Structure formats: structure tokens, C-alpha cells
């Protein structure tokens, strides 16, 4: 009877933890909207219709989800190796710069050549920026949280220098009260094609989904993915088994950075302006996708397939939040608060999962889903991990 109760508890925590976390966050958000003097029902109706009400809204949400998804996939890869990539913002910027430089240097290449080339360059730029903290962590045991955050600061200065100097647009139209930190209009051959006329839906959406699927197969259907997860579970055991632990950590951070760099390329070549532009801060270019992608990955249980759904949901919050602000006159920062609440509830449910595993172990049975320390993603049992 006790075993049946534990199995039921484990099932509920696996499949309903994430939806219940979202619902709890929305309920608290409703109280916040009411406290601001607005109607929560009206606000959430505006949010849903603004994000999912029609083909144009759906296209906008899907496009907004692209960088979140790619960063989230990168976070999944790094976290599965038990390293924490907090440098997505800088890696996005480096990817955007690398892809933009490629497009500026080779503007006359045909579309079928230039688009893949620029996206590959973006992935390489982000990957190299992610490899730096990976090497520091693997070979010198430098805390990757500190190193990735510090590299974000370096990235913003480098981006500002290039966009205000060597890569700045010198055309007459850009000189209005001084040079705007942006590149010139990129070659049309580098623009991501629109999939559905009359919407913003571009090829990057399809590419991002395919990348997430490929990352899932990499992590759970290849020996390299097994090695990443094994190192994340126990570096000592992996080293004893003859696995190249240091190289695996470096590769995981490099792949994570490559995903973030690819997100930077999407932001440039899928943008309406078709150029790289910033306001002098990283968020002016990234839209905080580097940090929001961490939330997306956590909500998706660090599983690339669930991260697809998670990215679409969080993109809907961002796009629909604009409509909610217009209708209810509540601050747009409320959406940021909702994102934070989701994370709080998701992480809080980890206590229940650990308690269930402890009770299961006390009952003489091995835990069904051993997790990597220090972070065990809520909902990971549903993704087919081993």
C-alpha cells in the first residue's frame, strides 16, 4: 500500500509539477494584478489573445520563442554536465557579431549558401565564448558562474566598440545626432525567409525546433550524450570509468555557447531591421533572452523536447504581456515577476521530489530516477531520461 502511494506521488510530481507551478504562479499574478487595481480576468484575457489570438499573434509568439528555445537548449546541455552557464547574454552577442561580420564580408553569396554560413558563424562565435569558461572550469576549477558573468561584461564592451566603431553604419541616414550603434542594412541574401506571408514567422522557428530535437537525441541517444550525463551525475565515477571528464565539461560548455550564439544569429537575421543594433547594453540586443532562457530550461525540466513547449509558453507571456499592459495599464514588469514566480514554485517542488525519493529508499527500494547533484530538474522523469 505504501509502495502504491509512493508511486502515485512520484507520478504526480513527474507529470503535474510543471503545470501546477504555472497555475500557482498565475494565481499569485492575479492577486498582484488585483492589487494594482485592474481586473485579473480582463488582464489574462488580453494576455492570451495578444499572444495566441490569430495567425499574426501566433507568429509573433513563435518568433519570440526562437532565442528562448535555443538558449534553453544550451542550458539543458550545460546543466546535464552539472555546469551552470550564466553567460548566455554574452554568448548571444558574440554569436550575433560573428554572424553579422560574415554577412558583411560576403554579401553577394547566394541565399542557400549565405544563410547557413552566417548561422554556422554565429554558432561558432557563441561556442568559442562558451568554451572559455568551460576550459577554466575543467582545467583550473574556476567557478563557471563567476566566469560566465564576467564574460558577459566583456562581451557588452566588445559589442559596443564594434557597433560604434569598425562595424558602424556610415550611411547618411544613420547620422542623426551622432552615429547610431548599428551595422548597415545586411544583404537580402542573409535574411531568414518568411514562412507565412503576412506574419513574422520565419525559417528560424523551424530551425530552432529541429535543433532542440537534435539536442534531445544527442543527450539521450548517443554515447557522447551519455558521457555528458554521466559526468553530470558523478565526475569521480566517470573518471574511474575512463571517461575524459575535463574534455566533456569543455565540450558541454562549448555546445551550450554555440546554441546561445545561434540564438544571436536568429536575432540579427530574423529581425525586422535586418541589421545588428543595440542601445549600449546587452539587453538592448538580446532582449534578456540569455537569462530568460535559463527560466525556460528549468520550466522544461532540462529536457530539450519539453523546452520547446516551455519556450512557446514564456514567449506568449512576453508578447501577450504587452497587450495586457495596454488593456489593464499594469506595468510590463509584472510579466518578469510571473517568470520569477514560476521558477520559485518549480524549484520549491524539488523538496517534495527529494522527500519522495528518501521515503522510497527507506522502504528498501532504490530511487527510480537518481538525479545529478546539485540540481535535479522537476519533471525530468517525463522526458525518458536514464
Q: For residue 7, is pLDDT > 70? A: no
Query: Residue 179 in contact with residue 164, Cβ under 8 Å?
Result: yes
pLDDT digit string (tens) for 130-158?
A: 999 999 999 999 999 999 999 999 999 99
- Sequence spans of domains, the chain: 21-383
What's the rounded Cα separation, in Å, for the pair 124 and 97?
11
Is pLDDT of 305 > 90? Answer: yes
3 state DSSP class of 57:
helix
Average pLDDT value for residue range 202-221: 97
DSSP secondary structure string for all residues of 96-164: HHHHHHHHHH-TTS-HHHHHHHHHHHHHHHHHHHHHHHHHHHHHH---HHHHHHHHHHHHHHHHHHHHH
Is the pLDDT reported for residue 379 higher than 50? no
168-182, 201-215, 272-286, 288-302, range with greatest mean pLDDT: 201-215
Task: Report the C-alpha gap between 290 and 91 in whole angstroms.
Answer: 8
pLDDT at residue 79 is higher than 80? yes
**Does residue 381 carry a pLDDT above 60?**
no
Q: What is the mean pLDDT of residues 372-379?
A: 40
Indicate whether 303 pLDDT > 50: yes
pLDDT over 90 for what percent of the chain?
66
Q: What is the pLDDT of residue 366?
A: 43
Which of 141-176 are b and which e, b meaning 16 or more Cβ less than 10 Å from the residue's Cβ?
eeebeebbeebbeebbebbbebbbeebbbeeeebee
pLDDT, position 329: 87
Confidence of residue 12 (pLDDT cuts 50, 70, 90): low
* Least confident span in 50-59, 86-95, 168-177: 168-177
pLDDT in tens, 22-71: 788 889 989 999 998 889 999 999 999 999 998 999 999 999 999 999 99
- State the average pLDDT for the chain: 87
Segment among 4-8, 138-142, 159-163, 376-380 with least mean pLDDT? 376-380
pLDDT band, residue 372 (cuts 50/70/90): very low
- For position 262, what pLDDT does the model report? 98
184 pLDDT higher than 80: yes
Question: Check: CATH 1.10.3470 for 21-383?
Answer: yes
Report whether pLDDT(162) > 90.
yes
- The predicted pLDDT at position 174 comes to 52
Per-residue model confidence as pLDDT tens digits over 232-278:
999 999 999 999 999 999 999 999 999 999 999 999 999 999 999 99
2 pLDDT tier (thresholds 50, 70, 90): low
Amino acid at each position: 500500500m505504501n509502495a502504491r502511494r509512493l508511486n502515485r506521488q512520484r507520478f504526480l510530481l513527474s507529470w503535474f509539477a510543471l503545470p501546477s507551478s504555472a497555475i500557482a504562479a498565475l494565481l499569485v499574478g492575479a492577486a498582484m494584478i488585483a492589487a494594482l487595481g485592474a481586473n485579473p480576468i480582463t488582464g489574462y484575457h488580453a494576455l492570451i489573445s495578444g499572444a495566441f489570438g490569430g495567425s499574426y499573434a501566433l507568429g509573433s509568439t513563435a518568433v519570440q520563442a526562437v532565442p528562448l528555445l535555443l538558449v534553453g537548449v544550451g542550458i539543458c546541455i550545460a546543466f546535464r554536465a552539472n555546469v551552470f552557464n550564466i553567460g548566455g547574454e554574452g554568448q548571444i552577442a558574440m554569436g550575433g557579431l560573428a554572424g553579422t561580420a560574415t554577412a558583411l564580408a560576403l554579401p553577394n553569396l547566394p541565399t542557400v549558401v549565405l544563410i547557413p554560413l552566417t548561422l554556422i558563424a554565429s554558432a561558432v562565435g557563441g561556442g568559442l565564448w562558451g568554451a572559455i569558461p568551460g576550459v577554466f572550469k575543467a582545467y583550473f576549477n574556476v567557478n563557471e558562474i563567476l566566469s560566465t558573468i564576467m564574460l558577459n561584461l566583456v562581451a557588452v564592451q566588445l559589442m559596443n566598440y564594434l557597433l560604434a566603431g569598425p562595424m558602424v553604419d556610415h550611411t547618411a541616414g544613420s547620422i542623426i545626432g551622432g552615429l547610431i550603434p548599428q551595422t548597415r542594412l545586411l544583404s537580402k541574401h542573409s535574411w531568414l525567409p518568411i514562412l507565412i506571408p503576412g506574419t513574422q514567422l520565419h525559417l528560424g522557428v523551424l530551425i530552432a525546433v529541429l535543433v532542440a530535437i537534435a539536442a534531445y537525441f544527442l543527450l539521450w541517444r548517443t554515447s557522447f550524450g551519455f558521457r555528458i550525463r554521466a559526468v553530470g551525475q558523478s565526475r569521480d565515477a566517470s573518471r574511474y570509468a575512463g571517461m575524459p571528464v575535463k574534455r566533456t565539461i569543455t565540450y558541454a560548455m562549448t555546445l551550450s555557447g554555440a546554441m546561445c550564439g545561434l540564438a544571436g544569429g536568429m536575432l540579427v537575421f530574423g529581425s525586422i531591421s535586418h541589421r545588428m543594433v543595440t542601445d549600449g547594453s546587452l539587453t538592448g540586443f538580446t532582449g534578456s533572452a540569455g537569462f530568460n532562457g535559463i527560466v525556460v530550461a528549468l520550466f522544461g525540466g532540462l529536457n530539450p523536447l519539453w523546452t520547446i513547449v516551455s519556450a512557446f509558453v514564456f514567449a506568449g507571456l512576453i508578447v501577450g504581456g504587452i497587450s495586457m499592459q495596454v488593456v489593464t495599464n499594469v506595468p510590463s514588469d509584472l510579466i518578469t515577476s510571473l517568470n520569477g514566480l514560476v521558477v520559485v514554485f518549480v524549484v520549491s517542488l524539488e523538496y517534495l521530489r527529494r522527500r519522495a525519493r528518501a521515503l522510497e529508499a527507506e522502504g528498501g527500494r532504490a530511487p527510480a530516477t537518481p538525479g545529478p547533484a546539485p540540481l535535479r530538474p522537476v519533471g525530468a522523469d517525463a522526458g525518458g531520461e536514464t
